[in-house]
Amino acid sequence: MRRIEQLTFTRFIAALSVVLFHTAKNVPPFDQHPFLREIFASGYIAVTYFFVLSGFVLSFAYSSTDKKLRLNEYFFSRFARIYPIYLLSFLLACLYYLDIMAKVDSRKIWANLFLVQSWIPSYAVSFNYVAWSLSVEVFLYAAFPFLLPPLSRLSTRNLIVVATLFWGASQWALTGTLARVADETYLYLVYFPPVYLSSFVIGIVAGVWYQRVNKESVRQRVNLGLLILGLALLIAALLLQPYLHLYTAFNTLEFGLLAPIYILIIITLALDTSFLSQTFSHPWLKTLGDASYALYITNIPLRWLAERTLGKYNIQVPAPIFAYVFIALAILLSILSYLKFETPSRIWLNANKQMLWLFALDIAALSLALWMAFVLRLGLGNLYQHNWRTFTFVVRMCVPATMIMLLAFRLYNPLTFRANFANLIWRSSLPHALSGLALIGLTYLAFQNGWIESFPRLILFLVIASTFATSILARIFFKKYILKFIPA
């Protein structure tokens, strides 16, 4: 997908402002200087910037006449872009909540796995609470193919009229609604995906306009002046936020009120050819921008785990030192994640789409094998009445542990299917042995701490044996009966 390089670094600025809001807003100097306090106390509104920028970037990439939007390719590219690192962040959050994983409602887990948590008020901020915005992003991604064609057919004048009217009507409707709702409904609207559609539409419209504008005729001095104006308006809005209730029914900027200012900054920066865009296009800054998604989505579970580790060993770290060291490490880890996990995952997924079917088959087969192991040993009645938390915990630990090991040992590599039966068994033995040891250790830890009812030794060995056999059979079945029907 084509990119406007100088915009990439702005993602990092927005992500960092969210991280500072969550981690450093109450430490010096952010909590002392009035200017900094107002700016960084509003870091959460940068989430809306992501929605506006997504609309602009997607529109720029797909609105040209020589680029036809194919739905299957489009949706898969979006999946490959956001899901691997999101899944990693979800697993990190599950690790933090390990002590209650046997009790968590399965529907809450499924809502997070399928990124629909923002549609359900009580689930919106479950597990990794910043992931609600990814749920919104998925909705906007799904709406994009149906919004772009009609908007692309409008004249430039009508484009601006439609975007202005839709944004204005959305803000008016929100103002009227929020003035009359209870706190619970207000929180529901904060995370409700359609609330952010107007911000996304403004981004799409701007992207279509950007494709049409004669960039050679843009006066750089005027453009730079408009960019400075946009930044000044943004800072002024942040500083005046405490007084926003005097003009509207809600004193927050998070519902897309700043979308026109954001798009002014995005367009002028995209049209800029001065030293500023050259600086923002520096490879190091582009890398930070590319790593911003990992920084945004992993910073909360990483901070939770860091705080718990320090607390466990009774290590006292002053809040400012912890905040600054953690943010620096989070940025470093996000860069490593982008280079060593996110990018390789995206490349691999795009090159091996067929393997997702085997991945799904493995999950289904492993779950069935786990259920059978417990039922054969305990019986249905005993399982549901006396060992349900143990069963739930084992399933929720065994499936991800096994899948991670199979991925790490390249059991989803297409070359695996060229191996003979003996070689397949040999290659599968070590990952299953390691995942089995991890399962035994985690289950024993859960039993020792009273999180589950029992430590089922025999069942665990049955589980390890059955999941090993199931994995082998799944690959044989997939190769013989399914692979030939799946297009490459």
Q: What is the pLDDT of residues 27-63, one digit of tens each?
A: 777 666 666 666 666 677 889 999 999 999 999 888 7
Q: Which residue has the tokens 């399965």?
A: 106
How many angstroms separate the Cα of 53 from the Cα of each of 42, 60, 270, 458? 19, 10, 11, 54
What is the average pLDDT across 369-376? 90
pTM comes to 0.92
- pLDDT exceeds 60 at position 247: no
Q: What is the pLDDT of residue 244?
A: 62
- Give the pLDDT confidence of 67-93 residue by residue, as tens digits: 567 888 899 999 999 999 999 999 999
Instruction: Calculate the alpha carbon distances from 72 to 75, 134, 142, 281 in Å.
Output: 5, 20, 12, 31
Pick from 472, 468, 469: nearest CA to 421: 472
Task: DSSP for 73-126, please give it.
Answer: HHHHHHHHHHHHHHHHHHHHHHHHTGGGTTTS-HHHHHHHHTT-GGGSGGGTTS
CB contact at 8 A, 335 and 433: no
Q: Are 49 and 78 in contact (CB under 8 A)?
A: no
Contact indicator for 93, 301 with CB cutoff of 8 Å: yes
pLDDT per residue as tens digits for the range 400-421: 999 999 998 888 887 776 777 8
The per-residue pLDDT for 442 is 94
78: nearest Cα among 10, 9, 142: 142
Question: What are the phi and psi torsion angles at 483 (to 5°)?
Answer: -55, -40
Structural contact between residues 164 and 198, judged by C-beta atoms closer than 8 angstroms = no
CA pair distance 6, 324, nearest whole angstrom: 27
> How many angstroms separate the CA atoms of 125 and 138, rounded?
16
* The pLDDT value given to residue 240: 79
Q: Which residue has the higher pLDDT, 64 or 95?
A: 95
Res 121: pLDDT? 84
- With beta carbons less than 8 A apart as the criterion, state whether 222 and 267 touch: no
Q: Give the mean pLDDT of the chain.
A: 88
The sign of the torsion formed by the CA atoms of 51, 52, 55, 56 equals negative
List CB contacts of 442: < 8 A, sequence separation 6 or more.
Answer: 98, 393, 397, 401
Q: Quick one: DSSP state of residue 154?
A: S
Measured CA to CA in angstroms, residue 34 lies from 241, 246, 319, 467 at distances of 13, 20, 20, 59
| φ, ψ dihedrals at 9, nearest 5° | -65, -30
Number of neighbours of residue 433 by Cβ within 10 angstroms? 13
| pLDDT tens per residue across span 14-24 | 999 999 888 87
pLDDT value of residue 307? 93
Cβ atoms within 10 Å of 27's Cβ, excluding its own:
17
Helix axes 71-96, 292-312, angle to 10 degrees: 10
DSSP state of 49: H
Question: In the chain, where are the structural domains located?
Answer: 5-298, 352-485
Structural contact between residues 249 and 175, judged by C-beta atoms closer than 8 angstroms: yes
pLDDT tens-digit series, residues 455-487: 989 999 999 999 999 988 888 888 888 877 776
In terms of DSSP H, where are the helices of 153-282?
A: 156-178, 183-191, 197-212, 220-239, 259-271, 275-280
Between the CA atoms of 336, 342, 345 and 347, what dihedral angle is there, to the nearest 10 degrees? -100
Phi-psi region of 410 (alpha: psi -120 to 50; beta: other; left: phi over 0): left
Using CA atoms, how far apart are residues 57 and 54, in angstroms rounded to an integer?
Answer: 5
The counts of H helices and E strands in the chain are 21, 0
